[in-house]
Structure 1
Amino acid sequence: MSENTSAKLHHVLHRVAPDVSLHAVVAGAGPAVFLLHGFPQTWHEWTPVIDELAQHHTVVAVDLKGAGNSSKPLIGYDKVTMAAELDGLRQALGFETVQVVGHDIGGMVAYAWAATHRDTVTRLAIFDVPIPGAELWDTIYADPTVWHFAFHQNRDLPEFLISGREYGYVESFLRNRATNHGAFTDRDVELYARAFAQPGAIRSTLEWYRAFERDAEDNRKFKQEPLTIPVLALGGENRWGPKIVDMVSEFGSNVTGGSIPDCGHWVVEERPNAVLVALANFLDR
């Protein structure tokens, strides 16, 4: 997905920690909505919905730490640390409060942000991802569709095997998790593969997975005080959709959502209109 939008996009880069700068694309005007992508993607994941969202919101589509044009330091990939840095970006951009939408790994970071900055995150949307520390988390590694969780947590071996083969790995990852196989063009795959092949990017994005044990420990503590803000939990009918509301309800007391029909994991690219309808009914304007 190239920058094929009618909204005027502004690229920003802000230092939010001594060794971390976060890149984001900003568009529109109105209440701030931060969009957090998943693996193996970048801010471009949100291209199908930016135009519509920017009509009523200031959209901030972020490259998570480790991806795209954001920093790729050696440490600090637990989701609480990443959330604190995103809150630093919020402050740098001058927003008092934000609404946060996260998909996949971005959904994990989005929950951590809401749980640790309860005065600044006013609404939370989580798309198609299990939350570390949920009741199903301890059994999740038995699910063959999440084989990559264990693979990515190995030290050094995944980098060795993936390096030089980024296009094939990314293409397989995207297409094998899609129900709508027209969701990604070859150009889309190339864009994500190039980003994944940047120096440090494979290591950094795999560190998101290597932090899962810490994330689960943190989230089990957070869910003792469930979120009270509105939470939207959506997933593809053929992936996490049937389970996502019950799972996210462990962490919040005001959760709505469900399944997007005829959809796999990549809800934004596969069914952008359904995502836009759900967000239009959920986000404050």
Structure 2
Amino acid sequence: WEWHHVMPLLAEHFSVVAMDLRGAGFSDCPLDGYDKATMARDAHEVMVALGHERYVVCGHDIGGMVALPQAAIYREAVTHLAVLDVPLPGWTGWETTTARLWHFSFHMNRDLPERLIHGREYDYVSTFMAERFYDHSTFDPADIAIYAKAMALPGRTRGGMEWYRSLAADHAAALEYKKQPLEIPVLGLGGDQRFGAQMVPMLKEFATNVTGGSIARCSHYVADERPDEVAAALIDFLKTN
């Protein structure tokens, strides 16, 4: 749902596929497989099943953590990579940055987040997201309700927490990806109030052809706060490269 403002703008130029990751929304919530390489395999298999043997990958937040290994593992398939506002496992600033993000350590606790969030999904999602918006005029309660209802589906809170519980393994895997830098065009974008200034130097640790920067007056949820700017940046990136 996060891409519902951006997708119509991109669809004027490209075929667009948005999927719920393993553990989220209407996708399955298996007991394991939440390491980002396995989730990247999920996404790659979806694209192949839809007939796209070569494709562009764009991911925000956890989706960005999936997009990077997808590009690193499926090099013959992924033609371009875009990563939006997320600290990436394998980055030299990973430990110091994530140590300052309270929700990383909270979500890693086994069973505790699920117990505390159960029945309070709207309260948790609305508070969590409000903390990461800069322009609160774009904070739509109807969208928050959709996210909260998805989180309240059976197993989905646990699925979302499992994304964080695999991060130590993801970090180790990403250090291996850095040994063979990506040569495809890579775009790094982020809100100027969040990770925007870090996205390009961060991605240059993994790839040789990186462009991008910050989106002004924007925090973490770039596709919600500034969909026009995100779509324009993606279109320009893909048409230029």
Common fold, TM-score beyond 0.5?
yes
TM-score scaled by length of structure 2: 0.97
Instruction: Describe the superposition over 1:94-150 as per-residue Cα deviations: whole angstroms up to 9, x where unpaired.
Output: 11101011000000000010010000000000000010111001212332xx10000
Identity of aligned residues (%): 51
2:162 equivalent to 1:207: yes
Provide the residue aligned with 1:81 in structure 2. Answer: 38
2:130 equivalent to 1:189: no
Check the 8 A contact 2:133/2:139 in 1, yes or no.
no
Return the match for 1:161 from 86, 109, 116. Answer: 116
CA drift of 1:91 comes to: 1.2
Residue type matched to 1:135 in 2?
A: T
Q: Comparing both structures, which one devotes a greater share of its residues to helix?
A: 2
Residue type matched to 1:64 in 2?
A: L
2:63 equivalent to 1:63: no
2:207 equivalent to 1:252: yes
Higher relative contact order structure (alpha carbons within 8 Å, sequence separation ≥ 6): 2
CA drift of 1:276 comes to: 1.5
Provide the residue aligned with 2:80 in structure 1. Answer: 123
Provide the residue aligned with 1:49 in structure 2. Answer: 6
Residue type matched to 1:282 in 2?
A: F
SS in 2 for 1:279: helix
Distance in 2, Cα, partners of 1:148 & 1:268: 21
2:186 equivalent to 1:231: yes
Residue type matched to 1:264 in 2?
A: S
CA drift of 1:85 comes to: 1.4
Distance in 2, Cα, partners of 1:103 & 1:157: 26
Check the 8 A contact 2:34/2:162 in 1, yes or no.
yes
Structure 2, unmatched stretches of 5+, are none
Q: Which runs of 4+ in 1 moved over 3 A?
A: none
How many equivalent residue pairs?
Answer: 240
TM-score scaled by length of structure 1: 0.83
Provide the residue aligned with 2:225 in structure 1. Answer: 270
SS in 1 for 2:67: helix
Residue type matched to 2:63 in 1?
A: G
Structure 1, unmatched stretches of 5+, are 1-43
Aligned CA-pair RMSD: 1.0
SS in 2 for 1:101: strand
Distance in 1, Cα, partners of 2:191 & 2:134: 9
Residue type matched to 1:156 in 2?
A: D
Distance in 2, Cα, partners of 1:182 & 1:62: 27
Instruction: Describe the superposition over 1:182-223 as per-residue Cα deviations: whole angstroms up to 9, x where unpaired.
Output: 222111111110000000000011100001000000000011
Provide the residue aligned with 1:110 in structure 2. Answer: 67
Residue type matched to 2:180 in 1?
A: E
Instruction: Describe the superposition over 1:266-285 as per-residue Cα deviations: whole angstroms up to 9, x where unpaired.
Output: 10111111111111111249
